[in-house]
């Protein structure tokens, strides 16, 4: 009986001593991981701001595929939250709440880890900084706080210390986020809408020649010249910008094209001006709609040409192919949401008379 008593006191002394030892250890941590992602800030922010998206890139999913996640009624923006439970010690139980949001720039959150001997709270911060390239963003993910007693004990026997463990997890998370956002931007859809009547009208334009693969690079500056001319001369835009393909030489891999913006009436331009006024006659055309990045335009044109051939339509002998940009990339950062309407002029089908 005395032996059991001494054993009890010995265990008690060890426990108290361990608690004093671990309790006096510095458990503070402050970790930030950064990654440059090839996507606009607004697109990445939108993904991170909604907790519903975290399952697709959160690094803890790999540690516990069976993690149980519960979402609050509000999952995005200030006041949104979610919680989780896990049997895996490294993941544990906890919750996260968004405290402050500066759209496309910053997100501040608090994370709570639940343990049998109490909870520990830490501050989480995200920042989204555009680089010199507007299509790239420097994303920073940080966490600052202090370990609970149980966390200190656990980390004392772990392979990595607390900061190294968080760094590894955040690196994995940012890499996963990069992959998810990149995949999202690559989504596209092509639809052959059928025969359409395009009304035509006046437009301002500028023309240049380019290799086929250079059209995208030259399009922006060319369209900018037209827009600048219109702004300087107080000329109002009357529709979505478009591109006319005046001449396509497949053998030489070259094209002569015009960047154009619709206007309500004919505009007389000064002599020598690179920006001119033109007029498009109303035309019957096969219309194809691309929802996605412009790099998929070649496939969209091929589908349009296939539609023309399969339905026995004859290409128009003089009218030129053109594409209308229904969305502004400056306002819609995700290429997967860009809408381009392609028109392939044809000779108007003859509708047979019914006796």
Residue 18, domain member (yes or no): no
Domain boundary residue, one of 152, 185, 218: 185
Q: 21-55, pLDDT tens digit by residue?
A: 334 444 577 999 999 999 999 999 999 999 999 99
| Inside any domain, residue 19 | no
Alpha-carbon distance 308 to 190, whole Å?
15
**The pLDDT of residue 91:** 77
pLDDT < 70 stretches in the chain:
1-27, 115-118, 147-162, 351-355
- The pLDDT value recorded for residue 26 is 44
Specify the pTM. Answer: 0.79
Query: For the chain, what is the total number of helices (H) and then of strands (E)?
Result: 7, 15
pLDDT score, position 348: 79
Tell me, yes or no, whether 154 and 293 share the same domain: no
- First and final CA of the chain: distance in angstroms? 115
DSSP string, 73-122: S--BSTT-EEEEE-SSTTT-EEEEEEEEEETTTEEEEEEEEEETTEEEEE
- Among the candidates 185, 219, 253, a domain finishes at 185
Q: Which of 131, 122, 123 lies closest to 44 in space, CA to CA?
A: 131
Same domain, 257 and 274: yes
- Tell me, yes or no, whether 255 and 220 share the same domain: yes
> Would 8 be classed as within a structural domain?
no
Structural domain contains residue 4:
no
| CA pair distance 320, 180, nearest whole angstrom | 39
- pLDDT score recorded for residue 147: 58
Q: What are the pLDDT digits (tens) for 82-109?
A: 999 988 877 788 999 999 999 999 999 9
Residues 59, 207 within the same domain: no
pLDDT at 47: 96
pLDDT of residue 27: 55
Which CB contacts under 8 angstroms, 24+ apart, belong to 111-116?
111/143, 113/148, 113/151, 115/148, 115/150, 115/151, 116/150
Beta bridge partners of 254: 211, 249
- Among the three residues 156, 185, 214, which one is the final residue of a domain in this structure? 185
């Amino acid at each position: 009986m005395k032996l059991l008593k001494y054993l009890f006191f010995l265990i008690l002394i060890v426990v108290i001593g361990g608690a004093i030892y671990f309790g006096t250890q510095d458990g503070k941590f402050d970790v930030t991981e950064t990654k440059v992602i090839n996507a606009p800030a607004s697109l990445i922010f939108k993904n991170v701001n909604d907790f519903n998206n975290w399952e697709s890139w959160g690094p803890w999913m790999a540690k516990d595929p069976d993690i149980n996640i519960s979402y609050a009624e509000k999952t995005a923006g200030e006041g949104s939250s979610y919680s989780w439970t896990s049997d895996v010690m490294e993941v544990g139980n906890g919750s996260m709440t968004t405290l402050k949001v500066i759209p496309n720039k910053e997100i501040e959150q608090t994370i709570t880890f639940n343990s049998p001997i109490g909870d520990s709270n830490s501050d989480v911060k995200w920042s989204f900084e555009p680089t010199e390239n507007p299509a790239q963003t420097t994303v920073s993910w940080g966490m600052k706080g202090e370990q609970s007693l149980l966390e200190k004990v656990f980390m004392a026997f772990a392979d990595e210390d607390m900061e190294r463990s968080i760094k590894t997890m955040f690196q994995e998370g940012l890499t996963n986020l990069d992959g998810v956002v990149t995949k999202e931007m690559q989504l596209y859809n092509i639809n052959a809408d059928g025969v359409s009547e395009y009304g035509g009208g006046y437009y301002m334009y500028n023309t240049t020649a380019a290799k086929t693969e250079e059209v995208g690079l030259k399009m922006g500056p060319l369209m900018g010249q037209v827009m600048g001319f219109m702004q300087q001369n107080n000329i109002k835009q009357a529709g979505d910008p478009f591109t006319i393909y005046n001449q396509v030489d497949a053998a030489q891999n070259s094209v002569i094209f015009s960047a154009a913006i619709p206007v309500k009436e004919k505009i007389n331009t000064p002599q020598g001006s690179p920006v001119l006024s033109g007029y498009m006659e109303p035309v019957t055309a096969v219309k194809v709609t691309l929802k996605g990045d412009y790099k998929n335009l070649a496939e969209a044109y091929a589908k349009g040409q296939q539609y023309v051939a399969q339905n026995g339509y004859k290409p128009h002998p003089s009218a030129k192919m053109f594409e209308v940009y229904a969305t502004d990339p400056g306002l819609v950062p995700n290429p997967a949401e860009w809408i381009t309407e392609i028109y392939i002029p044809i000779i108007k089908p003859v509708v047979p008379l019914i006796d």
